[in-house]
Amino acid sequence: MDISSISGVSMVEEPGSYAESGSNEVDRDAFIKMFLAQLKHQDPLNPMDGSEFAAQLAQFSSLEQLYNVNESLDGLTTLQQDRSQYEVLNLMGREITAEGAYLSLDSEGSTRGGFELETDAECAVLISDENGTPVRSLPLGYLKSGTHEFEWDGESGSGTSLPGGVYQFKVTAVTPYGEQAETTSRMVGRVDRIKLEEGTSTLFMGEIPVKLASVLDIRSAEGKGTTEPADTVDTTTGEVGI
């Protein structure tokens, strides 16, 4: 608030006791102190004009209301953030589909992935380790456009069981005309850990961190999804099943 309108005051307080040095703005408490000091030290032979007094009281009233509104908004914002953060705990144990092209191989030695296929095409999945070294190629056969999922048994191309951890995959799709069909990779798995930190929530599918904003589908542990189920491809035969 501008303090230039508070005049005619003879105060003994040190400059800077109400406002920061070089600043023309004061907070609520400083305004009250300066207003009371003005009343205390006004010239009794030339007292403050009534209209000026009323104007300064109106200024204080406006400042008080704005201060209370800001406090209320800050409280509501904090409450909403806390509520949103802890509501995400309901996702623990749920099956989700999220944006990304990673696989989390668990101790059971199997994992799943998914993708969106724009056009009917012959499809295959190339799985690589974290360093980008290919470890397995899975033929999926000829698939219709739409949403599909595949399962990987955790074995390399030579039949060796690979260690658990994070792997990446890439889907290739070729149309009957020899053209590359567009695909979008999806991560599929169960939420087994949730990290709450600095107002943000991060889900984990195994060792893969997943931002809440990247989640596309949520299903119950029994597999009842919020959308139509994806076709599951048998990677041994390339046949599609539900």
- Residue 125 is part of a domain; what is its CATH number? 2.60.40.4070
Q: Which two tokens stand for residue 242?
A: 């539900």
| Same domain as 161, residue 69 | no
Task: Among 152-166, 193-207, 210-224, name the one with the lowest average pLDDT.
Answer: 210-224
| Same domain as 98, residue 84 | no
| Same domain as 153, residue 76 | no
Structural domain containing residue 190: 92-241
| Same domain as 141, residue 31 | no
pLDDT above 60 for 147: yes
| Same domain as 221, residue 148 | yes
pLDDT above 90 for 175: yes
Place of tokens 């608030």: 1
| Same domain as 127, residue 236 | yes
| Same domain as 185, residue 69 | no
Last residue of a domain, one of 68, 91, 114: 91
Place of tokens 């102190």: 33
| Same domain as 129, residue 184 | yes
More confident residue, 65 or 173: 173
pLDDT of residue 225: 45
Last residue of a domain, one of 58, 91, 124: 91
Burial (CB count <10 Å: 0-12, 13-18, 19+), residue 103: buried
Mean pLDDT across 146-156: 95
Q: What is the chain's Cα-based Rg? A: 33
| Same domain as 152, residue 53 | no
CA distance 166 to 25: 55
DSSP 162: P
CA distance 237 to 75: 58
Three-class secondary structure of residue 205 per DSSP = strand
CA triple 61-7-58, angle to 5 deg: 15
| Same domain as 184, residue 204 | yes
| Same domain as 103, residue 84 | no
DSSP 151: E
Residues in CB range of 233: below 8 A, 6 or more apart: 123, 140, 141, 143, 148, 149, 150, 151, 239, 240, 241
Q: Helix H segments across the chain? A: 28-40, 50-87
**What total of structural domains would you count in the chain?**
2
> In the chain, what is the straight-line distance between the N-terminal and C-terminal CA atoms, in Å?
67
Last residue of a domain, one of 91, 113, 132: 91
CA distance 82 to 142: 47
Q: Report pLDDT digits (tens) over 73-95.
A: 665 555 455 556 677 888 999 99
pTM: 0.61
pLDDT band at 37 (very low <50, low <70, confident <90, very high): confident
